[in-house]
Structure 1
Amino acid sequence: MDDDQRLLEATAALLESAGHTVTCAGDGELALRLARADRIDIVLTDYMMPVMDGLQLARAIGLDPVLSAIPVVLVSAVATPLVGSPIRASLRKPFTGASLLELIARLALRRS
């Protein structure tokens, strides 16, 4: 999830080309609704998002008994996860496609 439409589309295309199914949201509130409605395996979120920022989204996911096992990855140029936050991993912008795919593979293995 990212509010930068170009980055959102490029990230989605990269993940889809690697065989992943992608659901996109332009704000944190929509992302939370989609996570509750669909079977989501991993959430990628920017920190600076409209309506609900990435940390608020991660906290909401962590507090929801149905969603709490979903790893949340913070993708940001400015923020890093705070100690004790529900963020499971982070990726600093700008990032390479290979680093994103490696992180997704690592998190997917932990969930299996």
Structure 2
Amino acid sequence: MKTVLLVDDEHAILDALSGILADEGFRVLTAGNGREAVARLREEIPDVALVDVMMPVMDGRELLREMAADARWKHVPVVLMSAVPLAILNREAPVTCADFFQKPFDLWKLISRLRELAGEGSH
């Protein structure tokens, strides 16, 4: 069973996606912001991470930088999600991640991509 770290400050999204990903066969670790995600990463390294960009305390970009700077986590593929288009996010600073999904997104495409990045392939 592949593990996904799901990071979002909106509890409704966190709960809904967590339940769906679990139903789809993922083991799900959750965090409400980037700082909580770093604490989770210290406990366990997931196969893939799904991270919201806009969050308080530590946002998705800061988390990406933190992960890239640490040898323990820099290999973990990160999929970013945001209501803000990637082109606009890139105006501030280029975002480097495994993939990006703009909200609202096609849930089944997201699940397929997470499986692919986690090493399961498409089902």
TM-score (norm 2): 0.82
The C-alpha deviation readout for 1:29-76, integer Å capped at 9, x for no partner, is: 010110121131111111111111101101100110111000111111
| Aligned mate of 1:62, from 68, 72, 82 | 68
Q: 1:79 to 1:30 in 2, by over 3 A?
A: farther
| Aligned mate of 1:27, from 15, 22, 33 | 33
SS of the residue aligned with 2:29? coil
What is aligned with 1:101? 111
The structural deviation recorded for 1:28 is 0.6
What is aligned with 2:21? 15
Between the two proteins, the alignment pairs up a number of residues equal to: 110
What is aligned with 1:50? 56
| Aligned mate of 2:99, from 77, 83, 89 | 89
SS of the residue aligned with 1:24? strand
Contact 2:34/2:57 (8 A) holds in 1: yes
Identify the structure with the greater strand proportion: 2
Across the aligned residues of Structure 1 and Structure 2, the Cα RMSD in angstroms comes to 1.8
Supply the distance in 2 between the matched residues of 1:84 and 1:37 (Cα, whole angstroms). 29
SS of the residue aligned with 1:23? strand
TM-score (norm 1): 0.89
Contact 1:72/1:86 (8 A) holds in 2: no
Q: Which amino acid aligns with 1:66?
A: R
Structure 2 stretches lacking a partner, 5+ long: 1-6
What is aligned with 2:3? none
- Which runs of structure 1 show a deviation greater than 4 angstroms over 4 or more consecutive aligned residues? none
Contact 1:14/1:97 (8 A) holds in 2: no
Supply the distance in 2 between the matched residues of 1:102 and 1:39 (Cα, whole angstroms). 20
